[in-house]
Structure 1
Amino acid sequence: MKIKLIKKRIKKIVFYVFIFYSVLISNILTQFSALGQVDLEFIKQLYQQGKYGEIIEQLSPYEDSNNPLFQEYLASSYETRGQLDLAIFHWIKARQLYEQQQNENKVTQLKLVQAQLEIEVGNPQKALLLLQQMPISVSTQALVGNALLVWGEYEQAISSFEKALKEVQETNVTLSLLSNLSQAYEKNALRLKQKQQLLRNDSAEKQLLEVEIIENETLAKTTANQAWQLAQTLNQPNYNTIRAWLTWLPYLNDQEQAKTLKKVKTALKKLPPTHQTVVLWINLADIIDEEESIIEANNIADTLNDYQSLAIAKRKLGHYFESQQQYPLALAYTQEAIKYANAQLAYEQLYRASWQEARIYEAIGEKKEAELAYEQAFYSLNRIRNKLISASRDVQFDFQQEVEPVYRNYLSLLLENPTQKHLDTVTQVFDSLQLSQLENFFQDNCFNESDREMEASEILKEKQVAVINTIILPNSLHTIVRLPQGDKYHLKQNITSKELNQKIEEWQKDLFQVTTNNYLNSSQYFYDLLISPFEDRFTQAKVEQLLFINDGLLKNLPMSALYDSKKQEFLIEKYPISNNLGEKFIINSPKLQSPVIAFGLAESRPPINQSLPNVTNELQEIKNIWEGNTYLDQEFTKEGFIEILKTQRPQILHIATHGIFTGVSETTYLQSYDQIIDLNDFDELLQRYANLSLLTLSACETATGNEKAVLGLAGVAIKQGIPNTLGTLWQVQDQISARIIKQFYQNLEQNMPPVKALQVAQVRELENISQHPRSWAAFLLIGT
């Protein structure tokens, strides 16, 4: 009976399986039949008529087709409508099918198309990888230049464009190359200006940069004019002609600009309605900032159903009406931009539109809605952090205009009447700002939270550390104190950032006047500003250590030199002091173990050409105190340094040599006997060959007028997860430095934690040798 029942069930299962496969095979046969029925001539006609939506509708059921022409029409239609990711997907499929057919001409052609689109969507590295596999030609050189231009490698881009121009024969390609070359010169001049601003006024490099800036600005104008002159010879304006006109437009006087503007608009209106046309209208709007151009872009994008361009056009319309203080219209367009950006998960557009929405809500007094909009902008920025870093080095020069204000504005709103919840959010936002600044500085993903063994709150509680977090806003200074148990207190002080920076610069200047006590007024002022309001709370909470997380130029001030005029003692005499960039960067410090590896340069070597005779004694004293090896002068070559790190993999690394920490990674370096070790090389070497618990840089200096100067020193520590990094804010006389360093290592040898070891060494110096902070306050410990 059971056997019969089983047989019956098996027959039933076989019957259903047969029906399932019959339907499946029928569907496949129908699909193949339909594939054969698609009229490619009809598709071609639709394409010529600009009916890209219909093409996508006709061919979408067959998007897995092995017919490369289907893939090409789909790719081109998606590209024309601005759906560039889908376009890339289908161009790749078409190329793969041509590869199977061994059609090398089509494969080469489609690689070039894909490379251009990768550049447009912000993936210049992918484009460069593709182009490196191809033979050198005018087309590849031009696209390499485009990729390098987007990536922010302007000098290399200029070189590529110039090589292509020597070989080019087609007028259209020449126009495009000249426009891009002009843009590369212009952007290079802007970058050099940014770099120049971060250098000291007396720097020889600053003068050399001025010459380079003028040269690049002149070449940008000359090249733009060449493109303009060539465009004038063409009877029928096209995309490249209009780009050439737009490149020259900013250089014209008002009368000539008005005349050219009319010509540009007339030509633009004759172009077919494509994504490229939308981009040109948007470019024009960026130059002249008018409603008409943005509306034209918006209308074409709407016709194409180009969501990416719609998000941009709607946002720009919103911005236009925001600038006119027509807030209802501004809000309506901005919220439409958010809708289209959300639909595409276009987080770069979403952060910009959400930030704009927040500003508009603030302007009309809707604080709660503004806070929610800032929250969305903050979330979107975090989503694209890695893309901002990897896609373009140019982003670091837009950071102050395009990214940092989002964080600052959000902080300003949260700090108006902060609750404890608001203060927690402030900490998160400020830490993210610091992280973004670091990643922007290094152009690298600097920090991974998962690397921490203990949460910051546990470390602070265990060590009885109070955190003092300063936030500088345009019209106020905010101080947030976090006690060891986690309670937070907030104080707002009405001082503008300009006034604060002036006081900081005055104090820095007075600190260098070793023959006077003028520094005391400023030392007392900053003590009263940052410490006095919270002293009773420190006492009640039994605080044993202070950790400063400072903002702006306050990073460059020696907190150890704050002076309590009532008790007549420096802050370092009361507490061990450390510094960090944010709570999320706090990591636990393991017990220090021998050996120490110490490098030093006592001789005068270029480019600084200044000897440090006491470095010899400094290294000998370290060797006497701690087990380890020392390498002096000729033994401290760059190659030797690399080899020793590779073979010995130290936990404690001491380097006594000249070093310059500026606000630009390219001009931050350490000096070895034979050549400089730039910041990126040093960072990479530590990452590959060291697992440090302590890094000491005892003869370096930071650029005192530059708030980003400390990022180099702090960034290396944070990127490599080094719990303790000791550096100097300014160059200390090497005899004094050797004395303090000796005492510091003696204290470490007695099992003092680094922060306590530094405190004892500094207090001993001020009590026994010199009370003036110029000699002992430069030492800065980054860690806990």
Structure 2
Amino acid sequence: LDLLETGSDLRDSPDYQQIHAQALNTLGSLELALGQPDTALEAWQFATEIYQQLKDDIGITGTLINQAQAMEALGLYRRTCKTLLQALKLDNNCDLSNQERFETVLQTFQQTPDPQIKILGLRSLGNSLRLLGDLNHSQQVLKASLKVAQPPLEKRETLLSLGDTERSWYNHYKQLYTRKRLRTDQKEVKKQVIAQVDHALNYYQESLQESSKLSASTSLDIEPKLQQLSLLIDYHNWLENLNYEDNNDNHKPNIQDVKSQINDQVKELLNSEITKLPASRTAIYAQINFVESLISYELKSNNHQDNLQRSSFILQPYEIAHTLVKALQEAQLLDDKRAESYALGTLGKLYEQTQQWYQAQEFTEKALTLAQGIQGDDIAYQWQWQLGRIYQALGKTEEAITAYEATVKTLDSLRQDLLALSSDVQFSFRENVEQVYRELVDLLLQDEQTAEPIANKRIQDNRIPDNKLKQATEAIDSLQLAQIENFLGCNLSDIVELAEQEIDPSAALVYPIILDDRLAVIVKLPKSGEFIHYTTALPKAKLEQTLESLRIELEKRFISKNSLALSKQVYDWLIRPAEELLEANQVKTLVFVLDGGFRNVPMATLHDGEQYIVEKGYAIALIPGLNLLEPKPLAQVELNALAFGLSDMREDLADHQGFADIPFVKTELGEIKSQIPSQQLLNQDFTSQKWQELISSVPFPVVHLATHGQFSSDPDETFLLAWDKRINIKDLSNVIQNRSENSLEAIELLVLSACKTADGDSRASLGLAGVAIQSGARSTLASLWFINDESTAKLMTFFYEELAASGATVTKAEALRRAQVNLLKEPGYKAPLFWGAYVLVGNWL
């Protein structure tokens, strides 16, 4: 390159531009190999510009695919995908969920004449799709890439990528296991987890076999071995957390076998001289990743007190520290601030584990300063969180709270990048991000005088100041928003925070917060804005079991003693301590921000021992945190509805299989029409296309869907049934985008009258919150369980009667309360099964 810059005779050569571009291309490859993806990207961007001037299509394609590799190394996965599609002159929309479009993209790559471009392009596309959460297509693309003849080095990389995709499937099933409540479902998912571990380990092993064919095989062996080790340790830790109550489980893995594999893997890595690699960015990260894996294994093993069972060659803390100091020195030598921060922070983590708190604090603070200096928020939040834990251990509660708040702030700003970065980040959401918020709330709700959790204290005995209670509710709001964004896989930029003065003067906000050792409840009273707080000493598992049992009882066609006892128990936890204050403040509406298993129980069914809460006069609404579309009373708009109904299921349509006909849908739509003006589409007329056209173009304030639907913690299993197919979350999003483009007002009220939460899914109500927000509706009225009975039509009739007759005097929440009370007073409908399933999410005015 220097010769090209200085040699005037070369500059005049007709081939100057071509040679210059080739030199830049080679420079980019060298920089990437040396672990400098940012400078590699610059070189390849410059080369692309030259090839564009030369109108050299092969050169443009090759350098764009190279750019994509650099972007992938920098974590810019969405840009990687777009650049790859641009390289082959395809529309750069990375949503390949449409199978036809996916096959077009795959064929275009497969038909590329240059074999090197084909191999690199397919592998980069497979990696991008994995990191964007499209695991099925990632797998297909990488398997297609393996069919192309490739040298051992390239084949090694492709097999590594396939191993990583199988590991992402493993993460997916691991998270699915935590959401399943039924033992039979858990068994099936566990089989999938075990199978995915085997698939991933096999691909990593095949990658190792390709490495052995190369001269530099020792250094190349390390990456697949590290991947195997970190997967085995993660799998071991997951197995340790499982409670094997079923001794007849034939799929129960032997944890001692996994320990033995881990020990063999550590021995192999030490023999491959991982600590003696020549200084490079790759070597530094290899050493840090090795140590991270060991620390995570040590932590889990210490928790289960089985250190004596582990082989003696697992490294001692001083040996781990020595490896990290070497990595730190190499990072300083290469002036790689990011790697330096990782090495320092991991040293901090090691000292945290060995409870050497002051050394842990010193190294973590240095790591954080470096991370913030390079705007590395994705690593800074880890060190902020670590500092919070260290300060807490040192008894520095205020410093711990400050560190946790900084973590939450960093996570909030990172959220969009986290969602775009990696589906694995989403899969680990509950293990990492959610834990940060809960630990912060736990700290905020500790007694300042004793630094101990407050439990079983009456309101007047609590000494937690208002500002800390406010901070706790704000943290829960952020957590709720993060959970829904994680579910939807997008950033909710169009929601606005509800200003203090806009809150209904007769509505109290209720936050039940589930902590490991207790249930905390914070209530924000109207008018004064005063916060009150009370707690119950209650292990999380017992609380969740109570809520699960109550939900089962509520779906029975009769009222059992057990049902009333459980309803009263939950009422006693949530409402009874605040009864007098609610009455004194003339509260008419209770607006709940629900946590965990509370989301699967309709609050209207709580019982005080004499009557249900709705009979006491309280209207009930749910909000997913204090973040709403701007509230506007329904009375300000003319009431007319667009109603869709599906009473007959089609035997010839796979999507309709397993769903029964709903004969009362026709009655329901007829009753709506008698109450308010409405346009109605039933059965064959209710196609997904007609639904999309009408909602996108006609300004109806009320949209009513009387059709089967399901809410699940898996977006792919959250849907509504139309005559021709399922309507899913993505379809809802597209419709709202079209409404926005057509300058239509948001839907005021979306009614989903025949839905249910997915069986055995403990977090299914996330799907309801996701639908409520993704639909863009200000309010969503939906059922948590399906009732194939005339009662649905009756309740909807009462509801619309109240809305139509009362004008501006009744809120949507109050209209629902009156409808529920009217129905439960009718003979045969006293049981909550008939009237209790309905919840109002969003704007209750």
TM range (shorter): 0.7 to 0.9
Change in 2 beyond 3 A, CA 1:37/1:312: farther
The letter for the 2-side match of 1:437 is: Q
Structure 1 stretches lacking a partner, 5+ long: 1-31, 41-65
Cα distance change on mapping 1:110 and 1:263 into 2, 3 Å: farther
Whether 1:132 and 2:85 are equivalent positions in the alignment is: yes
Equivalent position to 1:232, from 212, 227, 230: 212
1:209-224 pair list within 5 angstroms: 213=193, 215-224=195-204
**1:661 alignment counterpart:** 711
* Whole-Å separation in 2 of the counterparts to 1:196 and 1:568: 38
> Is 1:323 paired with 2:303?
no
Tell me the SS of whatever aligns to 1:550.
coil
Please name the residue that 1:356 is paired with.
Answer: 386
Alignment of 1:558-707 (within 5 A): 558-565=602-609, 567-585=610-628, 587-590=630-633, 591=635, 592-605=637-650, 606-689=656-739, 691-703=746-758, 706-707=761-762
Conserved 8 A contact 1:186-1:216: yes
The residue aligned with 1:63 is: none
SS of the residue corresponding to residue 561 of structure 2 reads: coil
Aligned residue among 434, 437, 444 for 1:404: 434
Deviation of the 1:509 alpha carbon: 2.2
CA contact (8 A) 1:573 1:759 kept: no
Q: Deviations over 1:153-180 (max 9, x none)?
A: 2222222221121113211111111122
SS in 2 for 1:698: strand
Instruction: For residues 429-486 of structure 1, give each alpha carbon's deviation from its aligned partner in whole angstroms, at most 9, with x where no partner exists.
Output: 1111111001000001124344x7xx44223244x11111111111111111111111
Paired letter, 1:284: F
Corresponding residue to 1:373 among 384, 396, 403: 403
Query: Is the aligned partner of 1:748 residue 2:803?
Result: yes
**1:256 Cα deviation (Å)?**
3.4
Alignment of 1:258-407 (within 5 A): 258-265=266-273, 269-271=276-278, 273-289=279-295, 290-407=320-437
Match of 2:568 in 1: 524
Deviates most, 300-309 or 222-231: 222-231
| 1:776 aligned partner | 835
Structure-1 residue corresponding to 2:239 = none
Identical positions, percent: 29
Instruction: Determine the structure 2 residue equivalent to 1:6.
Output: none
Q: Is the 1:192–1:209 contact (alpha carbons within 8 Å) kept by the matching residues of 2?
A: yes
Structure number with bigger Rg: 1
> After superposition, what is the alpha-carbon deviation per residue over 1:725-765, rounded to whole angstroms, capped at 9, x for unaligned?
10011112331111101110111111232111111111111
Does the 8 Å CA contact 1:172/1:240 hold for their aligned counterparts?
no
Question: Structure 1 residues 461 and 522, CA, compared in 2 at 3 Å: closer, same or farther?
Answer: same
TM-score by length of 1: 0.86
Distance 2:766 2:493 in 1: 13
CA distance in 1, matches of 2:3, 2:68: 35
Deviation, 1:149, is 2.7
Question: Number of residues paired by the alignment?
Answer: 719
Q: Distance in 2 between matches of 1:134 and 1:311?
A: 35
Counterparts in 2 of 1:139 and 1:520: CA distance versus 1, 3 Å:
same
Aligned match of 1:557 = 601
Structure 1 window deviating more from structure 2 (483-492 vs 228-237): it is 228-237
What residue identity is the alignment partner of 2:713? G
1:167 aligns with: 148
Q: Distance in 1 between matches of 2:3 and 2:220?
A: 43
Q: Name the residue aligned to 1:444.
A: 490
1:113 is the counterpart of 2:168? no
The offset of 1:202, in angstroms, is 8.2
Whole-Å Cα distance in 1 between the matches of residues 27 and 399 of structure 2? 41
Is 1:491 paired with 2:534?
Answer: yes
* Alpha-carbon displacement from aligned partner over 1:125-152 (angstroms, at most 9, x marks no partner): 2111211233531111111122223223
- The aligned residue for residue 543 of structure 1 is 587
Letter in 2 for 1:319: K
Q: Which residue of 2 aligns with 1:468?
A: 510
Asked if structure 2 preserves the Cα contact closer than 8 Å seen for 1:653 and 1:695, the reply is: yes
Pair 498,682 (structure 1): closer, same or farther in 2 beyond 3 Å: same
TM-score (norm 2): 0.80
Whether the 8 Å CA contact 1:72–1:94 is kept in 2: the answer is: yes
Give a deviation string over 1:575-610, Cα, whole Å, max 9, x none. Answer: 111111111226313324232111111113422330
Partner of 1:414: 444
Cα drift, residue 533 of structure 1: 1.0
1:351 & 1:608 partners in 2: Cα distance?
Answer: 46
Structure 2 unmatched runs, 5+: 11-18, 89-108, 110-117, 233-257, 296-319, 448-463, 651-655
Deviates more, 1:222-231 or 1:503-512: 222-231
The change in CA–CA distance for 1:681 and 1:276 in structure 2 (over 3 A counts) is same
Return the offset for 1:124. 1.3
**How do 1:50-199 and structure 2 match up within 5 A?**
84-85=37-38, 87-101=40-54, 107-134=60-87, 136=109, 137-199=118-180
Q: CA RMSD in A?
A: 2.9
Amino acid at match of 2:578: F
CA deviation map 1:374-401 (0-9, x unaligned):
1221121122111011222232211011
Counterpart secondary structure, 1:423: helix
Mark the CA change 1:509 to 1:531 in structure 2 (over 3 Å): closer, same or farther. same
| 1:274, distance to aligned residue in structure 2 (A) | 2.0
Cα-to-partner distance string for 1:643-675 (whole Å, 9 max, x where unaligned): 332343422100011111111111111111222
Q: Is the 8 A contact 2:754 2:786 kept in 1?
A: yes
Structure 1 contact 460–466 (Cα < 8 Å) conserved: no
Q: Specify the alignment match of 1:43 in structure 2.
A: none
- Aligned match for 2:261, one of 253, 261, 264: 253
Q: Deviations over 1:661-696 (max 9, x none)?
A: 111111111111222112221232244236300000
